[in-house]
Structure 1
Amino acid sequence: MKIVFQLPVYFSLLVFVSCYGGNGYDPLENALKNQRSRASVLNHVSNEELTTELLNSPVYMSPQDGLKEVDKISSLPGEPAGTDFDQYSGYVTVDPNHGRALFYYLAESPVNSSTNPLVLWLNGGPGCSSFGNGAMMELGPFRVNSDNATLSRNKYAWNNVANVLFLESPAGVGFSYSNTSSDYETGDKQTAKDSYTFLINWLERFPEYKTRDFYITGESYAGHYVPQLAQLVLQNNKITNQTVINLKGIALGNAYVDHETGKTGMYDFFWTHTIISDEIHKGISSNCNFSEGATITDACIEYQYEAYAAKSNIYFYDIYAPLCSPFSNSAPSISGFDPCTENYILGYLNTPAVQHSLHAKPVQWESCNYLIGSNWKDMPLTVLPVIQELMASGISVWIYSGDTDGRVPVTASRYAINKLKTSVKIPWYPWMYQGEVGGYVVGYQNLTFVTIRGAGHFVPSYQPGRALAFFASFLKGKLPTYH
């Protein structure tokens, strides 16, 4: 693993660089491993502690007059001719004393932008970029071509049906930064607080969105970010002198929401998809108790090591996808997704002209910041109680899962939903897209679960058409159709 220096204008931060899931790098396991190694400093907080602290924290507000016009992107280098929607990007200060600012990118809709909802997208990690990974690799309006210099239009971009706001959070991720080095040791509490502060200030900068229907979406470790932020929005909406955000729903993709089911679901997926042997699976089942407070035995640790070794050289974020390799001539996967896409994004976003057009501070941009996850300070072992609270609040709560993801697989999502103990209203059925099964769906009481067939961890990357169809259904509040 190589080392580079990331230089947010005012000081240097040493980071280990790795593509999200590339070369064996697993940002979620990195964070969990470092949590275990610092177990004596018990940094797993309860959801109640997190909520109480956030509600008692004042929200920083600053004047935003004229900043929207400054943030408008005239054009991105290499963008295709005929780009027919407005784009904005820049920074919102969330802590002036520390010099902490979060970077955003807004892609408005080509049609009906003045009435379409506002959707916030968050990537996870923790420590991975919502702009580079989310916008440029998954659901944004452009994909980077193999020349690292030009863009092509993503006809299945989510801004076709919504105005999509990508937030790089927390500080130290992507183009977001702080002038205070200690801010890079952060966690769930600070991330939720800063994201809410960002939203309140961003809505002052873009006041036309203040009354718009608002949704929060994200994947992976955003299974923590999204519910925690949604909870904070709903609770702060009750404060009379606070901006009311018109939150209508959340969608969690291949989301890490519960430690026990996340672990059990992953190893069961490995076994049922022929990645690990019967012996390794039996060893994990017999020796591992992943529930909160349980002792992790040496035998459990050893069998987990064996499982990771057994999976060998596959991209377990999409277990059937080819790897990016100089020997494979970058052959696309079955879904048509180029496995070397992250390399193209890395080259493009580190071009000075691109950073200038984005109004970004000069920086060595990386897909994920290794040290953010390594120094993660607080992490509830489960956010299922928060999800239950959101289900009871009346907003729409959807969980979706690409079914070829091995990292936070469909089994983990199903086990987590079982722990929610909600009743089935509409039984499991196949939903259709262009005459084929797009996936499967079940409607629970106050919860919808959707699978996307043939998609890995980054659902819109691998199945963009099916992902857009699912997303449009989510915004309409209607289950994907059977016919």
Structure 2
Amino acid sequence: MKLEIVTLLYFLYLATPCLAFANEAKRLVEFSRTRRSMNHPRDDASENIYNYTNLSAYVGSQDGLRETDKITALPGQPNKEAEFDQYAGYVTVDAKAGRALFYYFVEALHDPSNKPLVLWLNGGPGCSSLGGGAMLELGPFFVNPNGKTLYKNNYAWNNVANMLFLESPAGVGYSYSNTTSDYDNTGDQRTAGDAYTFLINWLERFPEYKSRDFFITGESYGGHYVPELANVIVTNNGFANTTAIKLKGVAIGNALLDWDTNDKGTVDYFWTHALISKSTHEAIQRYCSFNGTYSNDCENALSLTVYERGDIDDYNIYAPQCVDGSNSSQLKDSVSLGDPCSPNYVENYLNLPDVQRALHANTTRLNYPWIDCSDIVNGGNWKDAPASMLPSIKRLIANGVRTWLYSGDIDSVCPVTSTQYSLDILGLPIEASWRPWYSDIEEVGGYVVGYKGLVFATVRGAGHMVPRYQPKRALTLFSSFLQGKLPPEDVSIN
């Protein structure tokens, strides 16, 4: 096949509309290509960390809103009454523009008053933490193939924490703005600022959590969202000379931390996992410097990787594809690969009118159906995104914020190799040598290494969305993160 045709297929692939949660992986790939097309050399000094200046957050009255947000029961719940309290609704982050962010909150299953508060953020940019995080990965309920009923997730993260899921920025999921120009004027900085304003107001609505230990978690483009929000919190706590938000730590899975190391790490991952040819890998090594500047020869070489690796799930290179959109019988032989059609079930469920009423979704403000990755907020109209988040990570470490990175090892979108290359740039001294960790007596759960100020762990057999593919291992890792200790090395611990 001629190179020009392969290149054309590459760009058609990136431009093709995707269904449900396939959007998040392809969106990140497209976003990366868009940034590459800017062809600007790296300048880590100028693109250092954002100017995290003092943010005067809008604070509105929260009187009576908590009671309004209480969920009596979700349609199709396995029990009429959940074993924990759950809430959903909106927090206004800009009263003048009418910008409001949607949240879903589930208290801990046991003893919530003594459990920390954890915020979860999916990436994209422009993808939903409700549909991805809560309903597909780590929330208390998953959706059955009929798209109408739910079943219990035994490894939900609210087993050990109070979990808060935020659809951000406005235009994602049920979140909205009355000022439609907001959708074309968003980016990393506004997203971080709005998320901070959301938290300040949400804590007024749920004041008992003001003194609670607070953690931020996420995945993928959460590699931008999480450290940016964390640094806003650190900065504003410093300006106010008080702890407005008791931030203790951050944990990011399969994170996009640095555009160039992600591109290089992805290509090397393709090669070491037999997804591309030796000649293509050699061409990429010859033509691509991965320093912010991408020549035509480099782009042409990169385009070959799409054709050579074929139609696979980039999230999990060993998972089957969803064939008919509703066939859960495809994967009876393997729990770890997950049902490839489950994103379709979630989308069907979250578009049911009775579900939207139960969640208090303001459908009168939305002129579009709920989808996982927004059609109106995406990489094409994203205004700002640093080339590297590593200076921001360094700042968190310097301020004593517990920092964990983890990687499912069968993801090719933000692969383990990319994270390791980012760790090389950070250059942190090792304090705890590489070793296996366990969540089952007979199976290695992954591998972990402790750096000064940062922990890096892999999750064996997990794709991009770690809790989806390895729920038990993900819960073990998350519990260890909250406790501030490395995951178990004793095979008999469980």
TM-score by length of 2: 0.90
Residue 300 of structure 1 and its aligned partner are, at CA, apart by 0.5
Query: Cα offset for 1:87?
Result: 0.3
C-alpha distance in structure 2 between counterparts of 1:289 and 1:421, whole Å: 21
Aligned runs of 1:210-221 on 2, under 5 Å?
Answer: 210-221=210-221
Q: Deviations over 1:113-135 (max 9, x none)?
A: 01100000000000100000000
Instruction: Rate the CA distance shift 1:49–1:394 in 2: closer, same or farther, 3 A.
Output: closer
Q: Is the 8 A contact 1:135 1:141 kept in 2?
A: yes
Q: Is the 8 A contact 1:46 1:380 kept in 2?
A: no
- CA deviation vs aligned residue, 1:25-64 (integer Å, no higher than 9, x gap): 6111222333445669x9x995557324xx2543111111
**CA RMSD across the alignment:** 2.1
SS at match of 2:433: strand
The whole-number CA distance in structure 2 between the counterparts of 1:327 and 1:350 is: 16
| Equivalent residue, structure 2, for 1:303 | 301
Q: 1:443 aligns with which of 412, 425, 450?
A: 450
Structure-1 residue corresponding to 2:371: 366
Q: Are positions 1:377 and 2:398 aligned together?
A: no
- Secondary structure at the aligned position of 1:109 is classed as coil
Q: SS where residue 239 of structure 1 aligns?
A: helix
Residues 322 and 334 (structure 1), Cα distance of their counterparts in 2 relative to 1, 3 Å cut: farther
- Partner residue of 1:77? 75
The alignment status of 1:401 with 2:407, answered yes or no, reads: yes
Q: Which residue does 2:5 correspond to in 1?
A: none
Flag the 1:184–1:327 CA change in 2: closer, same or farther, 3 A: closer
Distance in structure 2 (CA, Å) of the matches to 1:315 and 1:265? 17
Which amino acid is 1:439 matched to? G
Shift of 1:198: 0.3
Map 1:246-265 to 2 at 5 A.
246-265=246-265
Partner residue, 1:233:
233
Residues 201 and 16 (structure 1), Cα distance of their counterparts in 2 relative to 1, 3 Å cut? farther
Aligned partners of 2:430 and 2:450 also within 8 Å? yes
For residues 76 and 327 of structure 1, do their structure 2 counterparts lie closer, same or farther at Cα, with a shift above 3 Å needed? closer
Instruction: Decide whether the 8 Å contact of 1:89 with 1:358 is kept in 2.
Output: yes
Cα shift at 1:290: 1.6
Letter of the aligned partner of 2:73 in structure 1?
S
Q: Distance in 2 between matches of 1:370 and 1:379?
A: 19
Q: CA deviation at 1:401?
A: 0.5
Q: Is the 8 A contact 1:17 1:370 kept in 2?
A: no
Q: Which residue of 2 aligns with 1:343?
A: 344
Q: Which residue of 1 aligns with 2:189?
A: 189
Question: Is 1:172 the counterpart of 2:167 in the alignment?
Answer: no
In structure 1, how many angstroms separate the alpha carbons of the residues matched to 2:111 and 2:193?
A: 31
* Cα deviations by residue, 1:174-204 (Å, 9 ceiling, x for unpaired): 1111111111121000000000000001000
In structure 1, how many angstroms separate the alpha carbons of the residues matched to 2:102 and 2:388? 28
Q: Matched residue of 1:26: which SS?
A: helix
Superposed CA deviations along residues 188-231 of structure 1, whole A, max 9, x for unmatched, are 00000000000001000000000000000000000000001001
**Structure-2 change in CA distance of 1:178 and 1:239 (3 Å):** same
In the alignment, which residue of structure 2 is the partner of 1:473? Answer: 480
1:426 correspondence with 2:437: no
Contact in 2 for aligned 1:280/1:307 (Cα 8 Å): yes
1:11-410 to structure 2, matched below 5 A, reads: 18-21=19-22, 26-37=26-37, 46=46, 50-52=50-52, 55-81=53-79, 83-185=82-184, 186-240=186-240, 244-292=244-292, 295-326=293-324, 329-330=327-328, 331-332=330-331, 333-335=334-336, 337-362=338-363, 363=366, 364-372=369-377, 373-410=379-416
Q: Is the 8 A contact 2:224 2:256 kept in 1?
A: yes
Does the 8 Å CA contact 1:259/1:291 hold for their aligned counterparts? Answer: no
Gaps of 5+ in 2: 1-15
Residue aligned with 2:108, SS:
coil
Mapped partners of 2:135, 2:213: distance in 1: 24
Q: Which sits farther off after the overlay, 206-215 or 430-439? A: 430-439
* 8 Å contact from structure 2 (residues 75, 149) kept in 1: yes
Q: 1:150-196, CA deviations, whole angstroms, 9 ceiling, x for partnerless residues?
A: 00000000000000000011111111111111111210000000000
Check conservation: 1:399, 1:450, Cα contact below 8 A: yes
Matches of 1:242 and 1:307, distance apart in 2? 51
**Which residue is 1:10 aligned to?**
none
Paired letter, 1:443: G
Gap change, CA 1:223 and 1:25, over 3 Å in 2: closer
**Offset at residue 361 of structure 1 (A):** 1.5
Contact 1:213 1:246 survives alignment (8 Å) = yes
- Cα separation, 1, equivalents of 2:471 and 2:219: 15
1:383 aligned partner, one-letter code: M
Residue aligned with 1:147, SS: coil
What do residues 228-260 of structure 1 show as CA deviations (whole Å, max 9, x unaligned)? 100110110012377611000000100000011
Tell me how far apart the structure 1 counterparts of residues 385 and 410 of structure 2 sit (CA, whole Å): 26
Deviation at 1:336, TM superposition (A): 5.2
Structure 1 position 449, deviation (Å): 0.4
- Name the amino acid aligned to 2:449: V
Letter of the 2:416 counterpart: V
Deviation of 1:393 (Å): 1.1
Q: Is the 8 A contact 1:20 1:27 kept in 2?
A: no
Cα gap change, 1:25/1:458 in structure 2, threshold over 3 Å: closer, same or farther?
A: closer
Structure 1 residue identity aligned to 2:144: N
Residue 324 (structure 1) shift: 0.5
Question: Which residue of structure 2 aligns with residue 12 of structure 1?
Answer: none
3-state DSSP of counterpart to 1:342: helix
* Residue pair 1:288, 1:300 contacting (<8 A) in 2 also: yes
C-alpha separation in 1, matches of 2:62 and 2:283 = 57
1:433–1:469: 8 Å Cα contact kept in structure 2? yes
- Long gaps (5+) in structure 1: 1-14
Amino acid at match of 1:188: D
Residues 124 and 221 of structure 1 are in contact (CA less than 8 Å); yes or no, is this contact kept in structure 2? yes
User: In structure 2, how many angstroms separate the alpha carbons of the residues matched to 1:344 and 1:193?
Assistant: 32
**Percent identity, aligned pairs only?**
53
Q: Is the 8 A contact 1:45 1:379 kept in 2?
A: no
Q: Secondary structure at the match of 2:50?
A: helix
